[in-house]
Structure 1
Amino acid sequence: MRAFICGLKGLTLDPDERAFLRDAAPWGVILFRRNVESREQVARLTAELRAALGRRAPVLVDQEGGRVQRLNTPHWRAYPSAARFEAVGADATQAERLAWLGARLMAHDLREVGIDVDCLPVLDAPAEGSHAIISDRAYSRDPARAARLGRAAAEGLMAGGVAPVMKHIPGHGRARADSHLELPVVDASRAELEAVDFPPFTANADLPMAMSAHVVYTAIDPSAPGTQSKTVVNEIIRGLIGFDGLLMTDDLSMKALTGNFRERAERAIAAGCDMVLHCNGDLAEAAPVAEGAPVLAGKALERAEKALACVRDVAPFDVAAGVAELEKAFVAFA
């Protein structure tokens, strides 16, 4: 088993993908809209990929609600974006209850089809003038509120037997570029970062997993994006923020990063990331990522095993009552 997560091309596994999963042995697989057609199809796919791997490997997805929802209508409910919880909540307690409830319902949807890791909550605090790539995917511009709402969502997922992945540590909210397309450079002072960007992650540092940001923070390390920076990983994420869970990269195929795919993986692992992520399902890219990822062992293996501990038990939950409560709060919810 190697320290990487890969994507798939379509709705079923083809022979090349079966062979790749068997030989490369990724820790887990991440699904996207191209892999999703119906409940029955996704359930078959998750069973199929685990059979190919020969173990109950974690299956991840980005199911945030709003514009980032891989399992969507007409087969699944449409969920509110993160920002709407702050907007609709009559007070902080209600907003947090609704954030918990939305995540708990999403966890039910995911577990039903064999998905047990959700890349949520988004704990970035958007700044004035930042790129729209985050915007309403974040819970609040107020770091304290973002921390509490994100915590509520993470607790909702875990209550439903789904492991959360907080992102994008140590913060993507000030980025003025989309890291899918180019490398964002943040010139804020360290004091500004410590006051606004880092606190939502610090308050949730006990969560099991986090996804790194492909962002350069010039006040911390002007030479490398956070994903590939020893200073960002060790001094900020592990040190100042205090996160000791499983640290995975954001997608290595994003254009924020340079170098060939093996180099991208090796740089992230050398910086201190536990796990590398490659999403687009292109095996010509995924193969060198696998080569650059080490066998999962030592502290990284301990973190990976601990991260999945919360996916085993599901607390009792009345789904119909939960849907009714969320619908009542969000008139546009359907």
Structure 2
Amino acid sequence: MQAFELSRAGDVAQAVRTAADMARQGVPLRFLAGGTTLVDLMKLDVERPSRVLDINRLPLAGIDALPDGGLRIGAMVRNADLAHHPLVASRYAVLSQALLSGASPQLRHMATTGGNLLQRTRCVYFRDVAMPCNKREPGSGCAAIGGFNRNLAVMGTSDACIASNPSDMNVALMALDAVIHIEGQGGARQVAIGDFFTLPGDTPQRETVLEPGDLITHVTLPPLPDGSRSLYLKLRDRASYEFALASAAVVVRMDGPRIASARFAMGGIGARPWRVPQAEAMLAGRAPEDAAFDAAARRVLQGARPQSENGFKVELARRCLVHALQAATSTDGRAVS
């Protein structure tokens, strides 16, 4: 690990100002929250910041109900606290389930909402500085293409990068239409989660729309319509402490025997949490039948680009989404809230 200077932010404005100043000077700086990703990558020399700014004492750890029935989640809220919060468990079951399916209890007690939004890929070549990786070192190549790529993306990839987004939480937030609130050099702004993540294209080193000095302060969730039901289904190689091969976050509202609306996003298969609004629209007004679910799932996976070892993900993801939709619309209410 490279030597670095550690300091503590006094308030949000100071944190943003310090980060912006360092960016202008060309000095690498990283914010330290739970450290569950950053510290790992620093140990591997993937991340080599000269300065680390501890933001753990900033007042960003609240979970509050909003007047419209939505929810405000501070960037420093720990994953465990968020998963077990009564408002999350009762109103946004898909988010609670996604968080509880990720990592280990120890990590969930450290990892934060803001940090999880910025979780880096688990591609083995990204984490090995001896191997070429365009995400880590632009222009060096992508060793995963033609290499070990079983766990990597089949959607949204490019000739420069096929890394997958590893987060469970982000998939649920995508299905919930979360809004990311950011403080930066130009003041406060908010970004819909659908616009927050970027695809690799020719610039795989850029994963979000954040600019130097930007700090995520909180996330807001809109209220779900009465009668909404949600769930998170995760398929993986083992039952715990494992990343998704394919996952589905589903939010549906029934109108009698038909689907009034459906929102769903998929994890494990995309360069970003994968959502296709056109596929969701295919289910509006339809009866909850397997044929309709299958057609929507195939639309989600249209344009898939499997690699040498992960072609199975296309079929696995189709089955994952169909099963999640079946469970969410079932009359017995199993595994949904």
Instruction: Please state which band the TM-score falls in when normalised by the shorter chain.
Output: under 0.3
What TM-score, normalized by structure 1, do the two folds share? 0.26
What TM-score, normalized by structure 2, do the two folds share? 0.26
Q: Rg: which structure is higher?
A: 2
Which of the two has greater helix per residue?
A: 1
